[in-house]
Structure 1
Amino acid sequence: MREIFDNYFAFATTVFMGLFAIVNPISSIPVFLELTSNMDKPQRRNIATKSVLIAFCIIAVFSVAGKLIFHVFGITLAALRVTGGILVFVIGYEMVRGKDEEKNNPKLGDQPVKADHGISAAITPLAMPLLAGPGTITTAMSYSAAKDVYHLAIVMGVYALICYITYLLFLAGNKIVNVIGTNVMMVITKMMGLILAVIGVQMLALGVMELFKL
């Protein structure tokens, strides 16, 4: 029983580190603040709630239906791991280099989002691609596709926890930026990028070993 618990705990830790690094909710705080700059506190809370719920639903669909998608399209888990590893590595590499900073943080302040149109901001860019982008979907599917229902439940529970953490970070966004500053946030983003790059290499290596039966 202890060994089973340790295996599940180790798996949950791995999933949390992988998904948290690729979601990187801290780096999404400036985007959320700028999108909701003209909204009052209840409206910001509403957008934060909708964005994390939509993101969770997206990941849930792909995690639960992963095996079905593999069967319909004839995809193997090894191929997914190779592709996902490359994708995750590229995302992490770009985060470390910082060349996608302007792309991930567009000048939304020039055209502020109106409160009555906030649902569109909750869907994109907050839910997709910031919280449930291609890298997150691929990683969640890779973790859940080859496991039993308990491992699938762990993946869903871990991502739900990350969504809740993201929700709290969004609501406390102004305080966080004032306390740690933009430079520290940049350092955190680069550290997350390094972790992502390592995870990508590991996924790629596992996929290659499975493809060629090494």
Structure 2
Amino acid sequence: MGSVKEILSVSLILFSVIDIIGNVPIVINLRKKVGHIQSGKATIVAGAIMVLFLFVGETILNLFGIDIGSFAVAGALIMFLIGMEMVLGIELFKSDPDEVTNTASIVPIAFPLIAGPGTMTSLISLRAEFDLYTILIGIAINVVLIYLVLKSSNWLERKLGSAGFNILRKVFGIILLSISIKIFKTQFALG
């Protein structure tokens, strides 16, 4: 099992990629349209997707003949782009608005908002640098944080306001950019 520093690193990486704070406006908008969000179910489903992908993601890669190092670089590139979105306030990854707003199910929140492509790519990238138990603890910490944020999204909206959310999003974007560059450096040093 990894050190406390490694657990915090994994937790912070996942927290930045999942960007649950940045997704609060989407959650609030969905809650206004459908009346109620099942926070517990959304959190459990998202956590299950992350753990499942952590275990079978490498097997899927092997089917395509892709090594973890190459996938880590691809994941670092996606994390870099997500970080750029967060810092610059632009949208590189477009999502179908019907996916988020035309359903009352938990599916748009658990997937793709929480356990989306960026999160899955990050999990595989993390496998190249951290042990499995460290990543599982990082997922567990994030599942708790996700639940707390989903449960308190209305309260967060009132307390932080639009400016507060923008500042948090930019800070996590810079952290994500730094982490992606570190993964690039590590993989190119190994290769």
Rg larger for: 1
1:134 CA displacement: 1.6
Question: Which secondary structure does the structure 2 equivalent of 1:118 belong to?
Answer: coil
Q: Match for residue 61 of structure 1?
A: 52
| CA offsets 1:33-59 (integer angstroms, 9 cap, x no match) | 11111455xx43x2x222222211221
Q: Would you say 1:36 and 2:31 are equivalent positions?
A: yes
Query: Does 2:42 match 1:51?
Result: yes
1:171 maps onto 2:151 in alignment: yes
Return the match for 2:121 from 138, 147, 154.
Answer: 138
**Partner residue of 1:99?**
90
8 A contact 1:82–1:205 mirrored in 2? no
Deviation at 1:198? 0.9
Q: Distance in 2 between matches of 1:79 and 1:138?
A: 11
Matched, 1:11 2:14: no
Q: CA deviation at 1:102?
A: 11
Q: List per-residue Cα deviations over 1:121-165 (Å, max 9, x = no partner).
A: x212x1222211222111111223565xxx313312221221221
**2:118 is the counterpart of 1:118:** no
Matching residue's letter, 2:57: G
CA distance in structure 1 between the partners assigned to 2:162 and 2:60 by the alignment: 41
Gaps of 5+ in 2: none
SS at match of 1:68: helix
Distance 1:202 1:97 in 2: 20
Tell me the TM-score normalised to structure 1 length: 0.79
Percent same amino acid at aligned positions?
Answer: 25
Query: In structure 1, what residue type is equivalent to 2:104?
Result: G
What are the Cα deviations for residues 164-203 of structure 1, in whole angstroms up to 9, with x where unaligned? 2111111211111111111110111011111111111111
Shift of 1:67: 3.2
The answer for the alignment partner of 1:159 in structure 2 is: 139
Q: Residue 29 of structure 1 aligns to which amino acid in structure 2?
A: V
Which secondary structure state, in structure 2, belongs to the residue aligned with residue 37 of structure 1?
A: helix
Q: Is the 8 A contact 1:22 1:136 kept in 2?
A: yes
SS at match of 1:99: coil
Alpha-carbon separation, structure 2, partners of 1:14 and 1:205: 16
CA distance in 2, matches of 1:168, 1:49: 9
- Mapped contact 2:75–2:121 kept (Cα < 8 A): yes
Residue of structure 2 in register with 1:89 after alignment? 80
Q: Which runs of 5 or more structure 1 residues have no equivalent in the other structure?
A: none
Which residue in the other structure is 1:205 paired with?
A: 185
Query: Within 1, Cα distance between the matches of 2:92 and 2:156?
Result: 19
Structure-2 residue corresponding to 1:71 = 62
Report the CA distance shift for 1:158/1:169 in structure 2 as closer, same or farther (over 3 A).
same
Using the size of structure 2 for normalisation, the TM-score is 0.87
Give 3-state SS (helix, strand or coil) of 2:104's partner: helix
